[in-house]
Amino acid sequence: MNPKNNYKLNRGEKAEETSLPATLKKMWALIESEKRRVLLAFVAILTNSGLLLTGPYLVGYAITHYIIRPDYHMVLVFSGILLGVYSLAFVAQYLQVKTMGTVGQNVLWKLRNDVFQKLQSLPLAFFNQNKTGDLISRINNDTDKLNQFFSQALMQFVGTIFMVTGAGIFLLVINFRLAVAVLLPAVLLLLFTRISSGWIKSQNLKNLQSTGGMSSEIQESLANFKVIIAFNRRDYFRQKFSEANEKNYRSAIASGIANGILSPIFDFASNVAQLIFLGYGIYLISTGALAIGFFVSFLTYINRFYDPLRQLANLWATFQAALAGWDRIGEILRLESDLAILPPGAEKQKDAPLLEFKDVSFGYPDGNLIINNISFALEAGKTYALVGPTGGGKTTTASLMARLYDPTEGTIFLEGRDIRGYEPTERTKKIGFILQEPFLFNGTVRENILYGNEEYANLDSKALEEMFAKADLGKLLSRFTKGLDTEVKSSGDATSLGQRQLIAFMRALIRRPDLLILDEATANIDTVTEALLQEIINKLPKETTKVIIAHRLNTIENADHIFFVNGGTITPAGSFEHAIEMLLHGKRKS
Amino acid sequence: MVSVKKKPNIFDTVKSYKLLVGLLIFAAIGVNTLNLVMPKLIANGLDAYTAGNFVMPTVAIEFSVIAIVVLILTIFQTYLQIYASEKVARDLRDRLASKISLQSSGFVQEANPSVLLTNLTSDIDAIKLFVAQAIPSIISSIVTIIGASALLLWINWKLGLAIVAIVPLIGITFFVIFSKIGPLFRKTQEAIDWLNRVINESILGSALIRVLHSEKPEMDKFMKANSEARNIGLGILKLFAAVIPAVTFISSLGIVIILGLGGKFVIAGSMSLGDFTAFMTYMAMFIFPIIILGFISNGIARSSASYARIAAVLNAPDVVPDGKIKADIKGDIEIKNVTLAGTDKPILQNISLHIKPKQKIAIIGPTAAGKTQLLYLLVGLVKPTEGNILYDGKNLAEYEPKSLHAEVGFVFQDSIMFNLTLRENIAFNTEVKNEALQKAIDTAELGDFIASLPKGLDTIVSERGTSLSGGQKQRVMLARALALNPKVLLLDDFTARVDGATEKRILENIGRNYSDLTLVSVTQKIQSIEHYDQIALLMEGEIIASGTHEALMESSPEYVQIFDSQKSTNTYESKK
């Protein structure tokens, strides 16, 4: 069973064994919107295969009727017909390749979008429980396995199946008994393929998993490169990578062996069929049951039957790899966010506090209780400070306020209504949360400040600057060499932590939230600038409620109320002096 | 910045695997030669039958023996190509990773981690494909084409010549189309880089995205990158879709020629029906490898584009050779006229500072003054554009980095955690002894916290340290640096996320347990550094004042301003 808040992928438990028809049905859902293209490609494949199959028959007919009983004029006529047939086949084949390739690209596009959209719909807990590199690998690498199948294999798949069926029918029509004999090895192949498929798929799945693992190693090491250098552990990256690489190498060879097992056996079967044909065919000619002219056609059809079948052997491996990729993607797509939006309950209550915690507890899936049955209320327009030792639960409390998580027990009320009843748009408009670890996107300061802000997205530079000046943020912008146009990077040290915090501050402020939460939001900003930030906060509308988490005492001294958070409990501190007393002498519990 | 001497050649990847590739070629040639013999056996059988001297058992035995040898050889070839390609890929990955591991932090940022990730995964996959499929296919295709054309010419040179004449036509078709596809493949890999970056940002910024409810803009961003990838894919497809049908068509012309011309020969009696049959079969054999070559050249174009990207990293200039002096420093640090250039303006300008052994010095200053970069200079994470950093009077570059890093502990400002156990995170440098580890843990006041964990030091820290609080992470970072038993400790805004009481205890612990330390502390809080030997005030990349607290209170108005901004708190804190 899936305990609440558990979004861990790669749990190692065996995925539900889904039957082939069920998987095909799901895959069909992917290409359903491409129905018309698939149909067109289908017709093209039929035409192409039909035309290509007619070729040998025409040749056989010409040999029997016009070469053995010489009539060179008719031979030329047949050559002309053949040329026409092949020209048509050219057009049909082009259409087929192009159309199915387009379907493949569209499916890949849609699939990647679906996975990414799913990622966006999942709560923060999901990201805390999974590795970045593995997720990237799923979105890129695993979807590509499906792309390979859809764009290259699927059309060949359908094409070859037609070829094989067509050639089989021609064989049966020309001489039934001989056909049955030469098709016998194919039946054995079918059985063998059925038996080995599950194994092939599982080997591919293991390989994809190890690729994801390797991707995670690279991701982590590159992101933490400066520690690796400063602590003299360049060998760490090499070694960790080498381990992951070796593991990937082994699983790749195993899956390669699995994928490669079919091909030689199919080749062999094809040769056995030819041998049967040679022996039995000559016997049939000697008894007069087979015209000698059709000996050539028959041989060609045997090749037309077994050659695509050999390709099918390779395609089958691609198909199994696609199924394995599909499993890993499906693992994400099956996840559902626990943070469902409830039907809105009662209307906003007039005298309800802005935010209220009622008997709230919160714990992670591993069982550790972080917040233990706390209740408190925040009145509109007041400033609250959360203080306490590190690891006491301050950030978790703040995250619950912003509904980054839901409490495992108890309820949180926003303006008297269960916070779970709010649409995200409405909720996030009311609550501004400056996170402890500021995050920037690659781009300019402007893009980062306006990120996710529909209201100001279309303002021109001048209007923007006026708006900033009005909000008193102009002075902060001067901390960036090119103001709003300064380039910043998501990783690396080109932008200092303090600057990142300034951007995060501005980003939250211009949204004018009702509840502003600052989680150590100014910790790395110098105290002079911080005083400036304090002034800006003080000028916010009177009804703005502020929750401040900070270690610097001057950051919290102006708070109306101070809560002492420790060991998952929350205690009103009464006065500033009392809070300091608790801070200095309170024993850390965690 | 990357100098490439000659154009990277994809065949370089297999240069050091001559034996493997040789075996692979041998197997491929064997399989294909034998495959060529089989139709001739059947043709012989048919002709023998027409001539009335057909002996079934002999033919059957010959045929079976060859079929079994082919089976064994194909299995051998299949597994050999898997082994060879995976080995080449693994070794190339290792080489690439070692190369990256030796680079500077700046190189990794510059080269962009997302791109390096693509290099190590998707680009290497393309090389793998080259080794596994391209090499054997090229060889076997060429063998088959040469063999089949030789047989065609041998059976009937006139008819054979007519068919072989088709080859140049096919060659031209390939050349025209692939010269256009090549550049598109490079773009494909760039699109994958872009996708990786968007995904990466959306994961690292997942908390922010949820706070701002900006899932929709993220989706739009992703969609844009994804659509670009699709458009390039469709562009390739448009060109590529013509290749196979065109080649099939041109080859089919061969069948028309055989019927038209060969039919004439048979009627005229200059060619046997058996040969005519064999001609048809060889024709089919002749076409197939040509189509394969078409596919493969497509693959080679893709692999070459990927290899060019990999080679750019592999050929990046080596970092300056490390110094040789084994560090056994006393802790005397001198920064001499150091300037660090930035993109728009210098990050640090003409900085000079002398820190004597066992001294405690603080660097304070506003946001983006260059404080962190100054610390980076001290450990060699960035190199000064001008000037020198001297440890005990010798240039930083002259020291062996390994030994110097073992004596200089750095506590980074941003928390960097590895998905390892707490023990491995703290004793990140493996030479750390248990004793040093315990001392570091006690000093960083982590003992209680670790004791509260069911698995203690063996608790695994999740990626990005999401299971720890900000302050806990910072203390782990401190313990990591202290576990080295360093001579010099560099603290970057260490106190920012630790509560006052804990901070005070930790600083006292450091003073007691590591009394010989030279300490350089970047900080915002004056109160905890008032007693330091020296305080340097850094603003906009320049040291505008330095001296003791008392001296600065006298001489520097900027310092006084900072002091005043913290005064109210000081009164409270001094009360206790």
- Give yes or no for A274 touching B (CB within 8 A): yes
**Would you call A190 exposed, middle or buried from its count of C-beta atoms within 10 A (0-12, 13-18, 19+)?**
exposed
Task: Say if CB A218 and CB A135 are below 8 A apart.
Answer: no
- Give yes or no for A35 touching B (CB within 8 A): no
- Residue whose tokens read 């390609």: B85
Residue A2, min C-alpha distance to chain B (Å): 20
Q: Average of pLDDT values for A39-67?
A: 84
Q: Which residues of A touch B374 (CB under 8 A)?
A: none
Q: CB–CB of B414 and A497 under 8 A? A: yes
Task: Say if CB B218 and CB B202 are below 8 A apart.
Answer: yes
Asked if residue B522 has pLDDT above 60, the reply is yes
Q: Tell me, what's the pLDDT at A531?
A: 85
Q: CB–CB of A79 and B259 under 8 A? A: yes
Q: Testing the interface with A: which of B128, B469, B490, B493 to mutate, by most A Cβ within 10 A?
A: B469
Q: Average of pLDDT values for B264-275?
A: 85
> Residues of B numbered 115-144 whose beta carbons fall under 8 angstroms of chain A's beta carbons: which are they?
116-117, 120-122, 132
Asked if residue A1 has pLDDT above 60, the reply is no
Band (A526; pLDDT cuts 50, 70, 90): confident
Position with higher pLDDT, A180 vs B181: A180
Q: Average of pLDDT values for B185-212?
A: 86
Q: CB–CB of B108 and A222 under 8 A? A: yes
| Three-state DSSP class for residue B266 | helix
Q: Chain A residue closest to B38 (CA)? A: A271
Q: Which residues of A touch B452 (CB under 8 A)?
A: 590
Q: What is the pTM of this model?
A: 0.82
Token pair, residue A338, equals: 């626990």
What phi and psi values does residue A358 have, to the nearest 5 degrees? -125, 110
Q: For chain B, what is the mean pLDDT?
A: 85
Task: Say if CB A269 and CB A188 are below 8 A apart.
Answer: yes
For a pLDDT cut of 70, what percent of chain B falls above it? Answer: 96
Q: Which residues of B touch A217 (CB under 8 A)?
A: none
What Cα–Cα distance (Å) separates residue A236 from each residue in A176, A240, A563, B327?
Answer: 67, 6, 43, 21
Half-sphere exposure of B497 (CA within 13 A, CB side): 30
From A63, A257, A389, residue closest to B79, measured CB to CB: A257
Q: Chain B residue closest to A258 (CA)? A: B79
Q: Chain A residue closest to B417 (CA)? A: A224
Band (B4; pLDDT cuts 50, 70, 90): very low
Q: CB–CB of A279 and B56 under 8 A? A: yes
Task: Say if CB B325 and CB B390 are below 8 A apart.
Answer: no
Band (B219; pLDDT cuts 50, 70, 90): very high
What Cα–Cα distance (Å) separates residue B429 from each residue in B124, B382, B406?
Answer: 31, 21, 8
Nearest to B374 by CA among B398, B408, B344, B351: B351
Q: Testing the interface with A: which of B41, B92, B199, B298 to mutate, by most A Cβ within 10 A?
A: B199
H helical segments located in A224-352: 225-230, 234-260, 262-286, 292-334
Token pair, residue A208, equals: 């994809």
| Three-state DSSP class for residue A548 | strand
Q: Which amino acid is at B458?
A: D
Kindly report, residue by residue over A373-392, the tens digit of the pLDDT: 999 999 999 999 998 887 78
Asked if residue A269 has pLDDT above 70, the reply is yes
- Give yes or no for B264 touching A (CB within 8 A): yes
Kindly report, residue by residue over A541-565, the tens digit of the pLDDT: 888 999 999 877 777 778 899 998 8
For a pLDDT cut of 90, what percent of chain B falls above it? Answer: 22
Q: Which residues of B touch A431 (CB under 8 A)?
A: 211
Q: Which residues of B touch A127 (CB under 8 A)?
A: 203, 206-207, 466
Residue A128 CB neighbour total at 10 angstroms? 21
Of these ranges, A33-42, A272-281, B318-327, B550-559, the one predicted with the greatest mean pLDDT is B550-559
> Residues of A numbered 337-366 whose beta carbons fall under 8 angstroms of chain B's beta carbons: which are they?
364
From A86, A236, A282, residue closest to B252, measured CB to CB: A86
Of these ranges, A495-509, B3-17, B98-112, the one predicted with the greatest mean pLDDT is A495-509
Residue B221, min C-alpha distance to chain A (Å): 11
Helices (H) and strands (E) in chain A, counts: 21, 12
| Three-state DSSP class for residue B386 | strand
Asked if residue B114 has pLDDT above 70, the reply is yes
Asked if residue A279 has pLDDT above 90, the reply is no
Q: Average of pLDDT values for B285-293?
A: 75
Q: Tell me, what's the pLDDT at B491?
A: 92
The ipTM is 0.82
Token pair, residue B29, equals: 């040639």
Asked if residue B55 has pLDDT above 80, the reply is no
Q: Tell me, what's the pLDDT at B227?
A: 94
Q: CB–CB of A260 and B78 under 8 A? A: yes
Q: Tell me, what's the pLDDT at A348?
A: 63
Chain A and chain B share a number of CB contacts under 8 A equal to 497
Of these ranges, A130-144, A427-441, B127-141, B163-177, the one predicted with the greatest mean pLDDT is A427-441
Band (A515; pLDDT cuts 50, 70, 90): very high
Residue A197, min C-alpha distance to chain B (Å): 18
Asked if residue A17 has pLDDT above 70, the reply is no
Strand partners, B409: B489
H helical segments located in A521-586: 527-538, 553-556, 576-585
Token pair, residue B449, equals: 């916290």
Q: Average of pLDDT values for A508-534?
A: 88
- Give yes or no for A483 touching B (CB within 8 A): no
Q: For chain A, what is the mean pLDDT?
A: 84
Asked if residue B64 has pLDDT above 50, the reply is yes
From B82, B213, B379, residue closest to A425, measured CB to CB: B213
Residue B277, min C-alpha distance to chain A (Å): 6
- Give yes or no for B544 touching A (CB within 8 A): no
Asked if residue B547 has pLDDT above 80, the reply is yes
Residue B3, min C-alpha distance to chain A (Å): 23
What Cα–Cα distance (Å) separates residue A318 from each residue in A207, A305, B22, B80, B130?
Answer: 13, 20, 27, 19, 17
Q: Average of pLDDT values for A87-101?
A: 89
Q: Tell me, what's the pLDDT at B534?
A: 93
Q: Testing the interface with A: which of B50, B211, B497 to mutate, by most A Cβ within 10 A?
A: B211
Which DSSP string do the residues of B123-180 spell out, in sequence order? IHHHHHHIIIIIHHHHHHHHHHHHHHHHHHHHH-HHHHHHHHTHHHHHHHHHHHHHHH
Asked if residue A266 has pLDDT above 50, the reply is yes
- Residue B416 and residue B464: Cα distance in Å, rounded? 7
Q: CB–CB of A233 and B379 under 8 A? A: no
Q: Are strands B542-547 and B534-539 parallel, antiparallel or unpaired?
A: antiparallel
Asked if residue A464 has pLDDT above 90, the reply is no
Band (B576; pLDDT cuts 50, 70, 90): very low
